[in-house]
Every structure is written in structure tokens, then in C-alpha cells.
Chain A
Amino acid sequence: MIEVDHLVKRFGAVTAVDGLSFTVRPGHVTGFLGPNGAGKTTTMRVILGLDAPTSGHARVNHQSYTELIRPLHQVGALLDATALHPGRTAQTHLASIAQSNGIKQSRVTEMLRLTGLESVANRRLKGFSLGMKQRLGIAVALLGDPPVLMFDEPVNGLDTEGIAWIRQFLRALAADGRTVLVSSHLMSEMAQTADRLIIIGRGRLIADTTTAQLIESSTRKDVLVRSPQAAELADLIKDRGATVTPQDGGALAVTGLDAPAIGDLAAEHGISLHALIPRSASLEQAYLDLTEEAADFRAAS
């Protein structure tokens, strides 16, 4: 479990995280969403004790990260897959990290096999592709078999195959009862991977919800109607308890009554219809609407 409580982090005059609170629970993949510069990476660094909070705090399994002994047994993280010494091999890179937490060589070998890096274990990392480095980063995160896992933009720069691999991997980790927090700036990516969503913008919480709920609540569903007898039709629709919003060019946006019902209603009263279009907005649009303010800020700064 990860708890972030009234977290504030300032870098000079810039407030990267501004009073952020949320809880990440085990058993789900939780998506950590926000535009670039929203404060996702800073929040993760504070959780890992790498950056000190200006105020508020972050806890992992009810403890402050900096108090953890051999923390890789409790939290595994992948912040930046390219953060490695190019002259080391996958084996020595993993081994040096494993040793710092008293993790045996057998576990290093196991992780190399699990991430499909066994055959390149003794190659220097400078020859590794980004996809291989991402796999190596995941191997590092899993070394201590931790109940809590954090990944910062793990699909960035990956090909379709790599993305599918990571997606399936994250789901398996959550199904195993682990707490999994994955950041991304792409709603489309998270919609397919995460069960829960924490959406932030300008360092503030915008939404803490489930993916299903977000689709349900913010997906716009209405019917666009055009008719030469629009006013008459509008009254009839309102009588059925539906809502009518006038649109540009004399069209009507109807919610609460579906297209077949509106068509039947019009036919009953001899009203001709020139257009009857069911509309729905994507989850991506819902996310963009939510983070609009944060995006404005980004463009202005």
C-alpha cells in the first residue's frame, strides 16, 4: 500500500506537487495519469525517499521509505530504464543491486530468465535497446519480490510487442495481490491496463476513480437531431422527460432518449427528420477535458 498525504514539493519558485493526497491499494493496477510536467515523477521520487517533501509525507506499507531496511524486499521501482552504467553487463548491474539488499545470485539469474534477458546477461549494457533496458529495469524492480511496485512511464519508447508484454506483466503482478502503480501521460494506454486511476494536473489531484467509473461518468452520450420542425420536436422530447440542448445551426442535442425512440416519436407526430446521429466521446476526450487546465498551464509556462 502506498499513501500520499498532503504532499507538497517545491523546487525554488516552482511548485511541482501541490497538496496531493491519494492511496494506492493492493490487488489492482493503478494508473497514475497526468500531462507531462503534472508532477508524477516528482511524486514517485518523494515516495522513494529520493526527493525530500517540502511538506506532507508519503508512506509505503505505513512506513517512511527512508526508514526501510533492505527496501527492495518491500518496494520495487523502475523510474528511468536508461539509468545504468553502459560498461557493466546485465548480470553485474543486477548483481550489484541485489547484493546491496542481501539478495542471492540465484534470484538474479531467475529475474534474467523471467525478463527474457538470460541470453544477453553477459553483454555490456551500452549495446542494449530501450526495450531491453526496460526489461532490465523491471528485473531490478522485481529482485526483492516486493509487494509494492512502481513504474514510471514503462511503455515509453517500446514497440507494440513490448507494450503488450508489459501490460500483461503488470496485470499479472496485480492479480498476484501486489500494489502496482504505473504512471503514464496517455489515457489510451492506461484504459487498457489500469483498473483504478489517479489523475493529476499541476501537482493537484483531479480524479481518484476506477477506469469503469470514469468511462461511465465522463463519457458524453447524446443524440444530435436536425429537423425543420425543431421547436415542436423539442417540446415533445421534453415531455418524455429527456433533456434538449440547442446546438449551432438549429440542431438539438438530446440526452435521456435514444435515437430509435426519437425517430419513433417524430414519425408519430409527422415530424420529418433531417439528421439523427448518436454521439459518444472517447475516454481520451474525457481525460483531455479533465486535464485541460493543467495543459493550459503547461503551454503558458
Chain B
Amino acid sequence: MTAPVPSAASVPLAARARDILASEWTKLRSVRSTYWTLLVAVATPVAISALVAVALAHAPGKSTPVDPLLPGLISQEYGVLAVGVLGVLAFSTEYGTGLIRVTFAAVPHRRAVLAGKAAVIGALTLAAGEVVAFASFALVQAVLSGKHLGVSLSRPGVPGAVLADGLLLFVVATMGVGLGAIVRHTAGGIAALVGLIFLPAILGVLPAPWGNRIARFTLLDAARQVTALHPATNLFAPALSLLVLLAWPALTLLAAALLITRRDT
């Protein structure tokens, strides 16, 4: 206990950031739910894109070419809930068990904890998302090329679209982290996540012009627009849609950052 107590000046910011990332990474890899949710988030989309590709390739009398990237993209949406749950759990289990008090007593700078959890889960789900995107692309094109419907990765716009496809899991997972910190309950956090992703999408069926006006701001439509080889004309341009897509987790995390320091634990 006679060891010198480290002061703010003696611990560089980078070291403190590294500490928090290491701590959150240990937490993430030491619970089973991480492995289960990731397995579902990766396996389901890959399996579904293969199925969709087979169905498309065998569709009779199909003359109009569909967007060859669509099957891979849509399948990614089936991994959304799994990674969203992974994100919500990061905070909700700590609040549920009371562990959050241990965490905040160890790191009183709560926004650093929020950033740490978002970064670790974001990195993991980004990697998983890209794996899914490229695996789905390879599978789908392998099936479609037999019918001369596929595209090659060397075609302009395709690599970018596939890369962007991999963003969806990252976007939803980090949004889940923010919602977990805001709602502080697992069930409530998941409900909020489902509501934010799917409710606006339902509003998209409203009569013109309201349906379109709302649709361009919804998470799933923005994601489809970003990754479409032939962007829809009634939505924002892909670049703007990318901003819309990233704004969802950004605004959620911002709200979490504002609330997390104001509330007692």
C-alpha cells in the first residue's frame, strides 16, 4: 500500500483507453451469449443467401435481371436481431446483476465505458458482418453465374457495395449497446431495438408522398440503398443514405452518453 498512487498526469490517455478496451474485450469473450449470438448472426445470413440464390436461379421465365447483390444483402437482415441482442446485453446484464456498480467504481468516467463497449462490440460485429457479406456474395454469385445472372467482384461499384453490406451488423450492434445503456433492461432494450428498426419500416407503406419521405430515413431502407447496385430513385442517394445508416447508432450512443452520467446506478 506504500506504492505511489498513479495520478491523472502519470497515466496517459492512450493507456487508459487500452485498459478499458482490454477489460471490455475480456468481458465479451468470457460469456457464452457472445458466441451464440455471433454464430446465429453469421450462419443464418449465409444459409439464407444460398437458399435465395438457388430460388432465383430456378425461377421460371425470369427475364428481367434482379439486382445480383440483393440476396446477399437481404440475408444480412436476418443477422440483425442476433447482434442487436449482443449489443443490448453489454449493458443490460451489468445493470441487471448490479455488476455495473463494480464497473463504474473501477472506471468512474462512464462515457469511456460506453465508448469501450461500443468499440469492442463494433469491431467484432464489423468483422463478422464483412465475413457474412463476402461469404454471401461468393455463394450467391457461384449459384447465379451458372445462369449467367451473376456479377464479378471486379465490376465497378461491386466491392464498395459488398463492403457496405458488411456494415449492417455493426450498425445494429452498436445501436444495441446504446439502447442497453439507455433502457438498462434486457427485454426492454431488445423491444426498443426491434421498435426502432422495424416500426419506421412499416410506416414506409403509408400513401405517397409520406411513405417515401419516411422510408428514406429508416435504417433498413438506408442500408438497402447503400448496398444496391441499382439505387432506388425514391430514396436518398447512396452517400446520403450511408449517413442516415450511421446516424442511427450515432444518435443512440449520443443519447446514452448524455444519460449515463446523469443517472444514479
Chain A interface (Cβ within 8 Å of chain B)?
45, 48-52, 61, 65-75, 77, 79-80, 82-89, 92-93, 95-97, 99-102, 140, 145-147, 176-178
Q: A residues within 8 A CB of B264?
A: 45, 50-52
Specify which of A61, A80, A97, A176 is in contact with B106 (CB 8 Å cutoff): A97
Does the CB pair A92–B26 fall under 8 Å? Answer: yes
Complex Cα gap A147–B97 (Å): 28
Q: How far is the CA of A88 from the CA of B97 in the complex (A)?
A: 12
A89 surroundings in chain B (CB, below 8 A): 30
B15 at the interface (CB under 8 A from A): yes
Are B98 and A69 interface neighbours, CB within 8 A?
A: no
CA of A274 to CA of B30 in the docked complex: distance in angstroms? 74
Q: Is the CB of B102 within 8 A of A65?
A: no
**Residues B23 and A84 in contact, CB atoms below 8 Å apart:** no
Complex contacts, B33 vs chain A, CB 8 Å? 87
Given the interface pairs A49-B108, A92-B26, the reply to whether A70 lies near B98 with Cβ below 8 Å is: no
Q: Summarize B's interface: helix, strand, loop or mixed.
A: helix
Chain A interface, >50% SS class: loop
- Interfacial chain A residues near B105, Cβ < 8 Å: 48-50, 71-72, 75, 77, 79
In the complex, are the beta carbons of B106 and A84 less than 8 A apart?
no
Q: Which residues from chain B contact A67 at a C-beta distance below 8 Å?
A: 8, 108
Question: In the bound complex, do residue A70 and residue B101 qualify as a contact, i.e. CB atoms below 8 Å apart?
Answer: no
Most chain A C-beta atoms within 10 Å of own C-beta, residue among B15, B16, B98, B105: B105
B31 CB contacts on chain A under 8 angstroms = 85, 87-88
Q: Does residue B155 face the partner (Cβ distance < 8 Å to A)?
A: no
On chain B, the residues within 8 Å of A93 by CB distance are 30
User: Scoring B residues 118 to 149 as 1 if CB is less than 8 Å from chain A, else 0, what string do you get?
Assistant: 00000000000000000000000000000000
Q: Taking the nearest CB of chain B, how far is it from the CB of A33, in angstroms?
A: 22
For B94, list chain A residues within 8 Å (CB): 85
Contacts of B1 in A (CB 8 A): 145-147, 176-178
A61 to B59, CA, bound (A): 74
A99 and B15 contacting across the interface, CB-CB below 8 Å = no
Bound-state Cα–Cα, A97 to B104, Å: 10
Q: Does B208 contact A (CB under 8 A)?
A: no
Q: A146-B1, A178-B1 are in contact. Are A92 and B97 (CB under 8 A)?
A: no
Q: Which residues of B contact A70 (CB under 8 A)?
A: 6, 11, 16, 19
Contact of A84 among B22, B97, B108 (CB under 8 A): B97
Contact between A50 and B104, CB atoms less than 8 A apart: yes
| B positions within 8 Å CB-CB of A | 1, 3, 5-8, 11, 15-16, 19-20, 22-24, 26-27, 30-33, 93-94, 97-99, 101-109, 264-265
Which B residues are CB-close (under 8 A) to A49? 104-105, 108
Q: How far is the CA of A178 from the CA of B2 in the complex (A)?
A: 10
Given contacts A69-B16, A99-B19, contact A84 B99 (CB under 8 A): yes
Contact B108 A85 (CB under 8 A): no
Residues of B within 8 A of A147 (CB): 1, 5
Nearest CB in chain A to that of B106: its residue: A100
Q: Name the B residues within 8 Å of A85 (CB-CB).
A: 27, 30-31, 93-94, 97, 99
Q: Would you call B106 and A101 a contact (CB within 8 A)?
A: yes
Task: Tell me, in angstroms, the Cα distance from A138 to B5 when the chains sit together.
Answer: 20
- Residues of A with C-beta under 8 A to B20: 100
Task: Provide the bound-state CA to CA distance between A95 and B22, in Å.
Answer: 10
Residue of A nearest to B32 (CB): A87
User: What is the distance, in angstroms, from B111's C-beta to the closest C-beta of chain A?
Assistant: 12
Contacts of B16 in A (CB 8 A): 69-70, 102
B182 to chain A, nearest CB (A): 18
- Complex alpha-carbon distance, A82 and B26, angstroms: 20
Residues of B within 8 A of A48 (CB): 101, 105
Could you tell me the distance in whole angstroms from the C-beta of B181 to the nearest C-beta in chain A? 15
Max count, chain A CB within 10 A of own CB: residue among B93, B99, B109:
B99
The reply to whether B15 and A102 contact each other, CB–CB distance below 8 Å, is yes
Give chain A nearest CB distance to B191 CB in angstroms. Answer: 22
Residues of B near A84 (CB, < 8 A) are: 97, 99, 102
In the docked arrangement, what's the CA distance between A48 and B108, Å?
9
A-B contacts besides A83-B101, A88-B30, A176-B1, 12 pairs, CB < 8 Å: A45-B101, A70-B16, A79-B98, A79-B101, A87-B30, A95-B26, A96-B23, A100-B22, A100-B103, A102-B6, A102-B16, A146-B1
Sample (30) of A-B pairs whose CB atoms are under 8 Å apart? A48-B101, A49-B108, A50-B105, A51-B264, A52-B264, A65-B108, A66-B109, A68-B108, A69-B6, A70-B6, A70-B16, A71-B108, A79-B101, A83-B101, A85-B93, A85-B99, A89-B30, A92-B27, A97-B23, A97-B103, A99-B22, A99-B26, A100-B20, A100-B22, A100-B103, A100-B106, A100-B107, A102-B16, A147-B5, A178-B1
